[in-house]
Structure 1
Amino acid sequence: MFTNKCVFYFFVFFSTSCGQFLTPDLMLTLLKGKIYGIIDKTIDNNNQCGQDLKLFISALENKELWALKMLDASAKPGPGILKGNVFLIGDYEQCLGIRQVVKGHEIVGMYCNVVLKPNRNFRWDFSEKGAKLEHMNSSISQFLRGVFDICVPKSCTSQNLIQFWEELTGKFASPLDVSIRDDHCHYQNKKITPETIDIFVFFFFGIITLVVLFSTIYEIYLFHIMKTKVNQSRKFLLIFSLYTNTKKLISTHCENEQLTCLYGIKVLSMGMIVGGHMAAIRTAMGSKNPIYFFSEWPTYWHNSLFVGSFFGVETFFCIGGVLVSYLQLKYSEKYQINIFWFYLHRIFRLTPALFVVVLLYLSVLKYICEGPFWPLMLNYFVDNCHKTWWMTLLFVSNYLNIGAQCVTHSWYLAVDTQLYLIAPFLIFNLKKHTTRVVAGMTTACFICILYSFIVTMKNNFGAILFFDSDLSYLKYYYMTPMAHLAPWSFGILLGYVLYRQNYQKIVISKRQNHILMALSLSTMLALHLLCTVLVRQGRDSFYSALFNCFARPLWALALCVLIFNCYTGNGGFINTFLSHPVFIVLGKLTYSMYLLHVPVIFVIFFGIKDETSTISTTILFLDYWGTMLVTGACSAILCLVFETPVINLFQIVERSDYSRKKSNY
């Protein structure tokens, strides 16, 4: 039995790769009897699948066109497997177009994704070619997926195909586990069965669409036809108006004109984040040379901006600290800070748009795309969100494994919200007990630095996200508040310093300003280049620990110097560039862009395309600008329809509360 299977495998793979030496007739003669035997053993004779498979084999022997198309539509091993080309895609359209009546029965083509996942027997030796990815063998077995697409008769179920495979490989210690699911199989006019949540979601979006149309038409009628002034009661009817919300979006007026540089910093940082995620997702799932991307590609200096894209996240932590500290301290000059409103504002600011994205994952994305990659992506979107959507909306998803999260990149919102919880207690005491608070925050940052060193050394973590780190690095370090407390704390302290500038100015000379600005920019550049250096030299726990300890605080410190110089009017052309009106408009979209950029990447590269491609810096550069354009357009819709209206509502309620306080005062 074992010998027969060895012979069978030999002919299957030899005929696949060296088919020019074997005629189709000879191959079928050698394999037909063996395949019939496996079909009879694994599939019931009364099962239509078994009958259709035998008809398919017979039709191949007779060189019938429909059978040749079905064989041709299935994937074949191609070149570059040792480079990681493990997404073997067939011809999706050709498979779905097969409809043939054979002996009074119609055979319809069905396209299925066979997912190959490494098991305990898997080991990929990267030591040849100096790839320096030996440490990734454990993590590769956690996230690497191979795909071998097949075209089979529609009558076959996933269970039939799995039984067939298990019979083929029963005597072998295969390094791969095979997964075939019915929802990973598509055929022409296959209907997606709506779930209960789908009905609610589309009803919700329908109601929102009607409300937006009504609000917009009502405002146009009042302002441009009736020339009526808007009173307080009518403002509630206009919060969804696209007319007003669009004017707010494209307006370049800023309440805090000294901090307009933050808009440019936010936009550039968001560009870094989108670029890093696009490169990693685009390459790891569906490229012909992912091994090149994870080994050789990050060692080139010109790719350091992509490699160090995670610094964009640290920028947002720092800016978040600056804004919450500076704005609340200014607010406290006139009013007493209300803890309830402080936290409620956070909920109103973040939750609505995040809720919409969760609904997109649950019920919308599965209807908007189709293709050979898309069923695999739906599994990623829908299954996780059914289980963990509530943790995403409660901002605790960072404590889940990355593979179990609903909106994966929402871990940042969770960590930032958890830091936000302690912000009032720091801000309340900064004015009264400045020395104590600064000392306490310094101690906390030192503890976090020590934590980073210990956890990196103990777990042999790397330092560079995607390239020399594994999944445990994400769970136990990168997605924890401890890793990002220092940048956020620096932002809190900078906000206080900027606030104090109105009363006790810190004066620096022109020469000192130039030195500080040069140090700030050179530090940022050096940290990006250091990422490339670390990838080049390979995994070293000690150097990784030092990097994890000091890279993020240094980045935040350099950013704080840059913001301070711009705020005090010493930013020069850099402040002029960062405060450009285009950045002011785009800066208002960064939250929506952050929420939408990952699903946009999946739709562009897995919901539309039908083949894998080779990755290079040029291709990634071109794909990047396309991704940014689509993400920007989608984020404008999310901002206008969901984000801005809720902000409008909260502002109306706040102003009425302020008016009441003034009258009481």
Structure 2
Amino acid sequence: MALGWVKLCLLASLSTFLNRTHALAVSKQCMMDTNTFLREINQDKPKEYAVVMYDAFGKMGSNVEGGSANQPGLLQQCRSAHSPTFSGQYCQVFLLQGTIQYFVGICVPDSCDEEEVQTLVLYDTFKYGHKSLIPPLPSILVNDSTQELIMTHCLSKTVTSDAADVTCLFVCCLLIVVPLAATLFTATIRWQRNRAVTPSEESTSLNTDIDMYGTPKYNGSTGGEINGCPIEETDSISRGSSYFSQSCFYQCLKAFSLQTTSRGIFSTSSTRVPEGGYSSLNGIRVLSLLWIMCGHSAQFPVINNLDNYKDWKKTVERSPLYVFSLSGPVFLAVDTFLLLGGLLSARSLLNSIQRAEDKLSPGLVLGYLFRRLKRIQPLHLFIMCLTIGLISVVHWGPYWFPFIDNVMDCKTYWWGNLLLISNLLPVHEICVPWTWYLSLDFQCYATTPLLVYFYRMNRCVFAVVAGGLLLTTMLASSVVTGLLRLPVFQPSTLTSENYVLYYYVKPHTRYGPFLIGILTGIYLTSRKGQLLKHKWQAVLGWLCCLSILAVLIGSAYALKGNSAHPSVPQALYQGLHRPVWALAITWIILACEEGYGGIICSVLSFGGWVPLANISFACYLVHPVFILLYIGLQETPIHYTDLNFMYLFLGHLVLTVAAGFVLTALIEKPYVLLKWKRK
């Protein structure tokens, strides 16, 4: 009787196992390898590969209360495990327990795909003895002991590239190879020209000038043109070589060569201001860039990479000393860039009108817009292609997943960047997210000719239009903030989709600082005398300016957090603080230009800012690439301390400056210098 009961139990157990295996919908090879691994780690003397795989599993650490809930495990150690029939494969299991969402890194046989791993996890297959290898967080830390599986993601050992990846890598290589080839070719031509000048010819060429490439320029030549490029017919050493040296092709080579593009980048002359402008703009531009880089260096790891996120959040929200890493105040640096963009756009257009005999023609406007496109698009598209290409060739770590969706959208929505309308797309469709600013900047830039037209036509109409636009953008910001109950700031503001989608990247909420920049540029270009007549006016202006800056930053801390109901103070702050900030920065520029800047003007006009200002555009575009590379290659979380974040920022800064110089010389400046002359 007892034996029959035992047989019945065994048959029932076997039937249950077979039914369960069938229900799991797991391949035979995957189930066999998984059972082999689990059997090996439960032996008295487990095999080495099984120990390595077990050791690579993520395990709970300390400071869960401070935000260290993720259990990444060890990716490379998992991949180094090899049994006679399979190797280790690193997967992430995303779980929800109570209100805590976290992931656990697990090491499974590479014969299992993502769906099979998810099925095995659902049935709690991975056990060491009677203990699960993916245990829930203890009840003392989380009230709910039930784990809810969100998804499973396995990281491939190999990189795969599709046609888009290959095309982007080819474009990047082409954009780099062309300037390098032009540099070599120009150097060769220069060497040949130097060899061709004999001592006797040198003595008889007293009236001959040598250009920066060693190409002779003779006086008394007759002028001509070929394909719109001026040439000179001279009695040179070689009429054919002289013809070539003055051809359009050779002029293009010189524009792309490093001999041309690298000149002036490291100049510290205070008179060399990028795009034309005023010496104080160098310091304002660079300090704003450093502020943005500091904020990004602190905020990007916060999204999912910190093991003490809650501690970081409490620290930075407590004191205004963390203004360099807190999302709300850091974003004011973007408004400073918009202000400078408006100022320089108005100055550039007014100077072009003056050179065109005071005529604002459609052709002049098209040329003005084309120069802007030529300035920003080559490097912009290079960074886009570089980012897409990096995704296909880099072995990413477990912390890459928060960024992969946004960057991968490039393959679908790349045209938004090409047409400079990416900020008008839904936030989850923005290709290379930090390039939204270029779209916003160009859209604002395109309004400058219209405002200048009204300014030249009738000053009263101009005042009404400008005032109406300023009022509209402030009202739009306030209404959007109030209706959607958007925060003034929070450490992870950019993770709030509504904040970005309806407020942060839109022209109707961010146009105010650019408009104030246009007004400032018009005033500085057309002024007849000084605005400040007495010293007391300057003193009063500085007191108001510094007070406004302090109040705007302090108010962000006072209004922190989300409101359950529409908040009037928060709505007013969002509507007013960006234009008011722009007005305060405008005062600094005006005071410096009119001789009332004092020590602040001396600091902002320091010649050491000029080289950094020359490469600031490239630095802005490339610095997030280094930050994402650093985060994406991490296998373990980053621990927040002030010292760690300071070194993180300084490391990114050094790499960014080095890459910024290279990209400015190779990609940005050649297209700026390249010009076409009409016959």
Q: Same fold (TM over 0.5)?
A: yes
Choose from 610, 626, 643 the match for 1:584: 610
Residue of structure 2 in register with 1:614 after alignment? 639
Does the 8 A contact of 2:407 with 2:433 survive in 1?
no
Choose from 42, 50, 63 the match for 1:61: 42
Residue of structure 1 in register with 2:82 after alignment? 99
How do 1:182-581 residues align onto structure 2 when only pairs under 5 Å count? Answer: 184-186=154-156, 190-223=157-190, 226=193, 227-229=214-216, 231=246, 233=248, 234-253=250-269, 254=271, 259-307=278-326, 308-335=329-356, 336-337=359-360, 338-374=364-400, 376=401, 379-380=404-405, 382-464=407-489, 466=491, 470-501=496-527, 503-535=528-560, 541-581=567-607
Amino acid at match of 1:58: R
Q: 1:188-237: CA deviations, max 9, x gaps?
A: xx332221123323333333343222211222233455232463632211
Choose from 59, 72, 75 the match for 2:55: 72
Does the 8 A contact of 1:42 with 1:164 survive in 2?
no
Q: 1:330-383: CA deviations, max 9, x gaps?
A: 221121441211221222122111111111222234314543434x26733552
| 546-555 vs 289-298, which moves further | 289-298
Choose from 130, 140, 150 the match for 1:178: 150
- Give the alignment's Cα RMSD to 1 decimal: 2.8
- Is 2:91 the counterpart of 1:85? no
Amino acid at match of 1:316: F
Does the 8 A contact of 2:26 with 2:119 survive in 1?
no
Amino acid at match of 2:252: F
Q: 1:383-433: CA deviations, max 9, x gaps?
A: 211121111222222233333321111222222222222211101221332
Amino acid at match of 1:113: Q
TM-aligned CA distance change 1:38 to 1:223, over 3 Å: farther
Residue of structure 1 in register with 2:89 after alignment? 110
Amino acid at match of 1:405: I
Amino acid at match of 1:591: F
Unaligned runs of 5+ in 2: 1-12, 126-143, 194-213, 217-244
Partner of 1:114, secondary structure, is strand
Measured after TM superposition, the shift of residue 632 of structure 1 is 1.7
Separation in structure 2 between the aligned mates of residue 207 and residue 485 of structure 1, nearest angstrom: 36
Separation in structure 2 between the aligned mates of residue 70 and residue 433 of structure 1, nearest angstrom: 77
Separation in structure 2 between the aligned mates of residue 389 and residue 288 of structure 1, nearest angstrom: 34
Does the 8 A contact of 1:85 with 1:289 survive in 2?
yes
TM-aligned CA distance change 1:327 to 1:35, over 3 Å: farther
| 639-648 vs 574-583, which moves further | 574-583
Partner of 2:62, secondary structure, is coil
> Quick one: percent identity of the two aligned structures?
23
Measured after TM superposition, the shift of residue 587 of structure 1 is 0.9
Residue of structure 1 in register with 2:106 after alignment? 150
Partner of 1:239, secondary structure, is helix
- Is 2:669 the counterpart of 1:647? no
Does the 8 A contact of 2:304 with 2:399 survive in 1?
no
Measured after TM superposition, the shift of residue 453 of structure 1 is 2.1
TM-aligned CA distance change 1:478 to 1:122, over 3 Å: farther
TM-aligned CA distance change 1:175 to 1:616, over 3 Å: same
Separation in structure 1 between the aligned mates of residue 98 and residue 23 of structure 2, nearest angstrom: 27
Amino acid at match of 2:591: N
Does the 8 A contact of 2:56 with 2:107 survive in 1?
yes
Separation in structure 2 between the aligned mates of residue 217 and residue 49 of structure 1, nearest angstrom: 56
Does the 8 A contact of 1:304 with 1:532 survive in 2?
no
Separation in structure 2 between the aligned mates of residue 34 and residue 209 of structure 1, nearest angstrom: 65
Partner of 1:250, secondary structure, is coil
Measured after TM superposition, the shift of residue 641 of structure 1 is 1.4
Measured after TM superposition, the shift of residue 35 of structure 1 is 12
Partner of 1:286, secondary structure, is coil
Separation in structure 2 between the aligned mates of residue 535 and residue 586 of structure 1, nearest angstrom: 34
TM-aligned CA distance change 1:44 to 1:325, over 3 Å: closer
Separation in structure 1 between the aligned mates of residue 389 and residue 562 of structure 2, nearest angstrom: 45
Q: What TM-score comes out, normalization by structure 2 length?
A: 0.80
Does the 8 A contact of 1:53 with 1:153 survive in 2?
yes
Separation in structure 1 between the aligned mates of residue 145 and residue 368 of structure 2, nearest angstrom: 59
Measured after TM superposition, the shift of residue 107 of structure 1 is 2.0
TM-aligned CA distance change 1:529 to 1:224, over 3 Å: farther
Q: From the CA coordinates, give the structure whose radius of gyration is larger.
A: 2
TM-aligned CA distance change 1:598 to 1:535, over 3 Å: same
Separation in structure 2 between the aligned mates of residue 506 and residue 34 of structure 1, nearest angstrom: 93
> How many residues were matched structurally?
586
The answer to which structure has the higher helix fraction is 1
Amino acid at match of 1:146: Y
Separation in structure 2 between the aligned mates of residue 68 and residue 410 of structure 1, nearest angstrom: 46
Choose from 605, 628, 635 the match for 2:631: 605
| 238-247 vs 381-390, which moves further | 381-390
Amino acid at match of 2:617: Y
Amino acid at match of 1:284: I
Separation in structure 1 between the aligned mates of residue 379 and residue 469 of structure 2, nearest angstrom: 32
Separation in structure 2 between the aligned mates of residue 538 and residue 514 of structure 1, nearest angstrom: 39
Q: What TM-score comes out, normalization by structure 1 length?
A: 0.82
Q: 1:452-496: CA deviations, max 9, x gaps?
A: 222222221111154568321221112211221211111111001
